[in-house]
A and B are shown apart, each in its own frame.
Chain A
Amino acid sequence: MSTTINSPAEPTTPAGKAADFLDQRTKIGVLTKQLVRKVFPDHWSFMLGEIALFSFVVLLLTGFFLTMFFEPSMELTEYHGEHPAQLHGQLMSVAFASTVEMSWEVRGGLLMRQMHHWAALVFLASMVVHMMRVFFTGAFRKPRELNWLVGTSLLILGLGAGFTGYSLPDDVLSGNGLRITDGVVKSIPVIGSYMSYFIFGGEFPGEHIIPRLFTLHILLIPALILALIGVHLFLMVLNKHTQYPGGGRTDKNVVGVPAVPVFATKMVGNFFIIFGVLALMGGTMAINNVWNYGPYDPSLVSAGAQPDWYMLFLEGSLRLMPGQGTEWVIAGYTLSLNVLIPAVVIPGMLFTFLFVYPFLEAKVTGDHREHHVLDRPRNRPVRTALGVAFLTAFIILAVAGSNDLLATHFVMSLNAITWALRILFFVGPVLAFWITKRICLGLQRKDRELVLHGHETGRIVRFANGEYIEVHRPVDEQERWLRVNYEAYRPLEIAPATDARGVRRKGYRSDRRWQRISRFFYEDRVEPVTPAELAAAHAHGEHDEIEAQRGTPELVSGSASGEREH
């Protein structure tokens, strides 16, 4: 790495000369010095964000190709191509015609379109999975709350990019998507009708929407995404990556592989793998064949009229909401709660939860320290359970968005499925919360069990006095550290309601409320094993000494009756 060495001697190699040229003008050596051997922890789950990043790169590459052939115009034209035969001579917008032409007549055009669409679906999917990893491991804690906000904004922008792109071909499926958007926008109190005009430049569908969406889709949203990705990665490098708990991993260090060569090579490899998988999908699996839906016509609709998967939860919440009695007329003005609640309030709640969660958790934990070592999900039972509950609600809504396909493929009644899901939407998340919390607490107890008594070996030993025992193998130092190195937070403690002189304290009520939330989080907890407990557990089995003297690695615990409760 001659580029990083500031040698007083004149550089002789071409690379050295180039580096010298650059450094003399930018002082880039300082930056490179810090980055070139920067340490990155290695774990598969840290690559989920890479999937999102690199599928976005594929989106940019394929998207650039598509802009060469797509014409974002709503001018009407007659389709002159011979193929596909079903469109010959039909009247359609130039946007639709150019989409079909680039698929059927431009060599590689269909591949690029399909790769672009698959990459978009994978982009959103990997963002969600990456976000789940960050949430469940507590990587959003100080100092990374800001990066969490950037990430959530990226998710929203990703949804926007997906939605605007989905609508561009001006086919029946996406046209009905826009029509639903129009209906949802109109339901917004006071300004709804005007917002509809603002979006469509007049009445739906008008002739402006495709060019407007095109500008958003290829300029504004990608620019914002790129900028935020820059911030996201900059903050990641600045804060240094989090690491999973384990021997030698603390909040004061980072253990991993250097950026050059291992991390960089793996990253480049991952990019090509992602690109390759998307090419494989684009080459073999048909996606959004718009010529089958036909050019947009406000009279047309097809069975299976659904948005792409990431919008299915909105579709589902619209489907589940019962319409009877939910449209109110107040002083002559119409308030459509049957649309507002599912399409505005529910996604609003989801994103509010995502945005405020890091701050909420810090507040109820009373925790102002920096965290760089991740939590094992089991060690934060309520957080994990809340995450699973929200995911459950999201999945139930997405399933509701596909209820017609469930009905046909599982031979059930559409109406019965809808009713079942209406109930499940309320019951499911609560149940999921409770079950997940119990599982987490159970796993924590299992951790204690393992640390105190070791792994069961399945080896039964009989002593001379006829007593049978199962031999347990004690956990090694590294494993023990993994299982005991966490903090079982306790609910907040607050100052009493009155001070020493019996005067009511200001802010007590608010403190009390926070304490209640804090109790919800930390009332049930399992403390990690302490050295004293371990010693006591060892002392308990009177056969330890025999085994220890024999020098066998196994630790004996338990008695003739099997496992004992200590």
Chain B
Amino acid sequence: MKALAARRHHRAAPVVLLLLALLVTGGVYAVLAPSPATADTASTADIETGKKLFQANCATCHGPNAEGTSEAPSLVGVGAAAVDFQVSTGRMPMQMNGPQAQEKPRQMNEEQTAALAAYVASLGPGPSIPTEEQVDASKGDPASGAALFWTNCAMCHNAVGAGGALSEGKWAPELHDVSERNIYNAMVSGPQSMPVFNDANITPEEKRDIIAYIVEQRDGSAGGLTLGSLGPVSEGIWTWVVGMVLLIGAAVWIGAKSS
């Protein structure tokens, strides 16, 4: 340990460590990454179509070979999951600059998205799109999912996934309408402000548990109208808007002279 500590300050140490880390990361991915569903089956033809689509729609910002520009990040190594998430939710191609890319009607159909994903996946190893099995909420355990969700997700997305604010005009979107596949895609690819939750941090089974918890929330609340599931502020507003308006209205009626 001592010898290691002494060498830690060697000039080459950072480089060696970085190489080591990269090697280990790559290795871990090779072992842990789920069998890439799309990438495997992607034919060369798909990749070619994807490349054409990329150059027509994405290259302006991301560079002709997806190497990134000052406008937009490199896409080498972001994987098929990132493309599937960004393009299928309409966030990409982006239409206008803002604090963050906004969800909008998707501009590319299922095949085009798959081709783009295949192309980007071919540029470097990255997280791939989950299988049906991996996002099947009925196979997940909502209790384990709830604990993980509350620890890792609730601070931004709210305890039941109703969304929340980030700094400087950014926000964490609400999750009720997000497809199971895109919830998974987002966790492995870490779109925009969202951090990455790789399979060592949250295993694929745990990701499915989280999806099961989110899906369970779609049943609504046992107590009645959810009032947006936003917590005490919306409850306070409804106290005044419904409770106090009704009660003061009743008081006015009681106090008014009958004609």
Task: Choose from B154, B169, B226 the contact partner of A416 (Cβ within 8 Å).
Answer: B169
Minimal Cβ-Cβ distance residue in A for B143? A88
Compute how far the CA of A391 lies from the CA of B248 in the bound complex, rounded to whole angstroms: 19
Map CB proximity to B onto A150-189 as digits: 1 under 8 Å, 0 otherwise. 0000000000000000000000110000000000000000
B15 in the interface, Cβ–Cβ < 8 Å?
no
B216 proximity list for chain A (CB < 8 A): 84-86
B160 in the interface, Cβ–Cβ < 8 Å?
yes
Q: How far is the CB of A461 from chain B (nearest CB, A)?
A: 32
A216 in the interface, Cβ–Cβ < 8 Å?
no
Q: How far is the CB of A127 from chain B (nearest CB, A)?
A: 11
Assess the B171–A407 pair: CB atoms within 8 A: yes
Minimal Cβ-Cβ distance residue in A for B252? A44
- Cβ < 8 Å to A, chain B residues 149-175: 150-151, 154-160, 162-169, 171-172
Assess the B164–A408 pair: CB atoms within 8 A: yes
Q: Knowing A122-B247, A303-B157, A413-B169 touch, does A402 contact B224 (C-beta < 8 A)?
A: no
Q: How far is the CB of A379 from chain B (nearest CB, A)?
A: 21
Q: How far is the CB of A274 from chain B (nearest CB, A)?
A: 6
Assess the A405–B142 pair: CB atoms within 8 A: no
Compute how far the CA of A51 lies from the CA of B47 in the bound complex, rounded to whole angstroms: 70
Q: Knowing A86-B145, A294-B150 touch, does A289 contact B157 (C-beta < 8 A)?
A: no
Question: Which applies to chain A's interface (DSSP): helix, strand, loop or mixed?
Answer: helix
Compute how far the CA of A403 lies from the CA of B159 in the bound complex, rounded to whole angstroms: 18
Task: Choose from B164, B227, B235, B247 the contact partner of A303 (Cβ within 8 Å).
Answer: B164
Task: Choose from A293, A300, A414 the contact partner of B151 (Cβ within 8 Å).
Answer: A300
Q: Knowing A304-B231, A304-B233 touch, does A90 contact B156 (C-beta < 8 A)?
A: no
Q: Knowing A110-B223, A294-B159, A304-B158 touch, does A125 contact B164 (C-beta < 8 A)?
A: no
B85 proximity list for chain A (CB < 8 A): none
Task: Choose from A50, A125, A173, A414 the contact partner of B168 (Cβ within 8 Å).
Answer: A414
Size class of the B contact interface (CB-based, 8 Å): 35 or more
Q: How far is the CB of B121 from chain A (nearest CB, A)?
A: 32
A294 proximity list for chain B (CB < 8 A): 146-147, 150, 159
Assess the A408–B163 pair: CB atoms within 8 A: yes
Q: How far is the CB of B195 from chain A (nearest CB, A)?
A: 15
Task: Choose from A126, A303, A403, A407 the contact partner of B158 (Cβ within 8 Å).
Answer: A303
A306 in the interface, Cβ–Cβ < 8 Å?
yes
Q: How far is the CB of B95 from chain A (nearest CB, A)?
A: 15
Assess the B167–A285 pair: CB atoms within 8 A: no
A277 in the interface, Cβ–Cβ < 8 Å?
yes
A405 proximity list for chain B (CB < 8 A): 165, 230, 233-234
Map CB proximity to B onto A294-326 as digits: 1 under 8 Å, 0 otherwise. 100101111111111110100000000000000
Q: How far is the CB of A290 from chain B (nearest CB, A)?
A: 10
- Cβ < 8 Å to B, chain A residues 61-98: 84-90
A408 proximity list for chain B (CB < 8 A): 163-165, 171
Compute how far the CA of A407 lies from the CA of B164 in the bound complex, rounded to whole angstroms: 9
Q: Knowing A90-B143, A405-B230 touch, does A47 contact B151 (C-beta < 8 A)?
A: no
Assess the B224–A277 pair: CB atoms within 8 A: no
Q: Knowing A86-B143, A302-B154, A307-B232 touch, does A284 contact B224 (C-beta < 8 A)?
A: yes
Q: Point out residues on A near B: beta carbons under 8 Å.
A: 42-48, 50-51, 84-90, 103-104, 110, 114, 117-118, 121-122, 125-126, 129, 172-173, 266, 269-270, 273-274, 277-278, 281, 283-289, 292-294, 297, 299-310, 312, 401-405, 407-408, 411-416
Known: A85-B216, A303-B157, A414-B166. 17 other contacts (CB 8 A): A51-B251, A86-B216, A88-B143, A90-B143, A117-B235, A122-B239, A273-B250, A283-B224, A287-B235, A289-B222, A289-B223, A302-B150, A304-B230, A309-B236, A312-B236, A403-B165, A408-B171
Q: List 18 A-B contacts (CB under 8 A).
A: A84-B216, A85-B143, A110-B222, A125-B243, A269-B254, A277-B250, A286-B226, A292-B160, A301-B155, A302-B155, A303-B158, A304-B159, A309-B236, A403-B165, A405-B165, A408-B163, A408-B171, A415-B169
Query: Which 10 residue pairs of A and B lie closest in terms of their CB atoms, listed nearest first?
Result: A303-B164, A309-B236, A286-B223, A44-B255, A413-B169, A86-B146, A286-B221, A404-B165, A302-B159, A47-B251
